[in-house]
Amino acid sequence: MAEATEIRKLVYLVTGGCGFLGEHVVRMLLQREPRLSELRVFDLHLGPWLEELKTGPVRVTAIQGDVTQAHEVAAAVAGAHVVIHTAGLVDVFGRASPETIYEVNVQGTKNVIEACVQTGTRFLVYTSSMEVVGPNIKGHPFYRGNEDTPYEAVHKHPYPCSKAQAEQLVLEANGREVHGGLPLVTCALRPTGIYGEGHQIMRDFYHQGLRLGGRLFRAIPASVEHGRVYVGNVAWMHVLVARELQRQTALLGGQVYFCYDESPYKSYEDFNMEFLGPCGLRLVETRLLVPYWLLMLLAALNALLQWLLRPLLLYAPLLNPYTLAVANTTFTVSTDKARRHFGYEPLFSWEDSRSRTIRWVRAVEGSAP
């Protein structure tokens, strides 16, 4: 018992801890970080499930707060040894204004960095995104690329722009002196498209398929490959890099790492069907009926409708010019930098990731056969 007490001495803060990824990071920390004495979960919207976590040996502190409010962030960070910053506005559907996306993703990250510097927190892990790299506005494919692959990362959309700016702020902050005189150590993780339990877009596709009589209609050629990564492996990579950042500050400080696992390279739609197929949906081959120019027209009409309806209601369909372009551009990563630098190996196999996700879709949607 004495040994356990000695080990439990670290305070972690997870911003966005009630989000899709954030919840998995919170649960993974409680399962696999033995040195935790307190886990602070900071989010604009706290989940009721947090209450069930308060019965264990680790003190779980739920903090309702806004990363755009510097004083709220500073109060949450004060006394933490490690911050895992996942909070963000993940919006490529036009739900939020560009200003709001910037305010949350960039200014919010600035507030987290400054809070670490002011309060003496030395270790910061930032959840960045593949979109910091691409696909770019020219639709250049990124095929089996890694952290060092040359690629013209040119963006116009508010979301990738905000993620790129935030990541740069985090990496530039590496080495800054924090209160107490020691250096801040930062790194950024770049997940590709995350899937798994709690993935809202997967849920949206499933609902769309149910509305269309159990069918989804192919919009993207099967040849356009997307890298995807299971949420449990992304959470595990966050926990592991947060631990190793404290041990190997020179090697890991200021670095970026793609998040990857054994999930197969497939088109976005074909990959989703790995889970939606066993739940009764089928993908109808309509590529001949719906040529790409017609898809572009439909996407543009959706964007026009969104703009016209905005004063009355929020119209934010999955198909818009940006999502169509991203879906239609190959983006896959092939790297082992995380393994080489901090011994990362996926915790969940593809088979396990797939079965867990299928189970979730069935359970959540009540579609178990």
Ligand X SMILES: NC(=O)c1ccc[n+]([C@@H]2O[C@H](COP(=O)([O-])OP(=O)(O)OC[C@H]3O[C@@H](n4cnc5c(N)ncnc54)[C@H](O)[C@@H]3O)[C@@H](O)[C@H]2O)c1
Binding site for ligand X (CB under 6 A): 16, 18-22, 43-45, 66-68, 86-90, 104, 108, 127, 129, 163, 191, 193-194
159 flagged as catalytic: yes
Length of the chain in residues, anyone?
Answer: 369
Nearer to ligand LT3Y6G4Z, 82 or 130 (CB): 130
Q: What is the C-alpha to C-alpha distance for residues 267 and 224, in angstroms, rounded to an integer?
A: 5
CB of 88 to ligand X, least distance (A): 3
The residue ranges that bind ligand LT3Y6G4Z (CB under 6 A) are 90, 92, 129-131, 193, 201, 219-220, 268-269, 318-319, 323-324, 326-327
258 binds, among ligand LT3Y6G4Z, ligand X, none (CB under 5 to 8 A by kind): none
Q: Choose among ligand LT3Y6G4Z, ligand X, none what residue 19 binds, the Cβ cut-off being 5 to 8 Å by kind.
A: ligand X
Distance CA 282, CA 297 (A): 25
Cα radius of gyration rounded to whole Å, the chain: 21
Cβ(199)–Cβ(356) below 8 Å:
no
Taking the complex as a whole, the smallest distance from the CB of residue 283 to ligand X amounts, in Å, to 21
User: Does residue 30 contact residue 36 with C-beta atoms inside 8 Å?
Assistant: yes
Question: Least distance in Å: CB of 360 to ligand LT3Y6G4Z?
Answer: 18
Instruction: Choose, from 12, 102, 126, 159, the residue flagged as catalytic.
Output: 159
How far apart (Å, rounded) are the C-alpha atoms in residues 120 and 77? 9
Pick what 283 binds: ligand X, ligand LT3Y6G4Z, none; C-beta below 5 to 8 Å, kind-dependent.
Answer: none
Locate all alpha helices (DSSP H) within 78-230, ordered by sequence. 98-102, 108-119, 158-173, 200-211
Copy the structure tokens of residue 106: 């960039």
The CB-of-365 to ligand LT3Y6G4Z minimum distance in angstroms stands at 19
Q: Cα separation of 218 and 224, whole Å?
A: 12
Tell me which residues are annotated as active site. 159
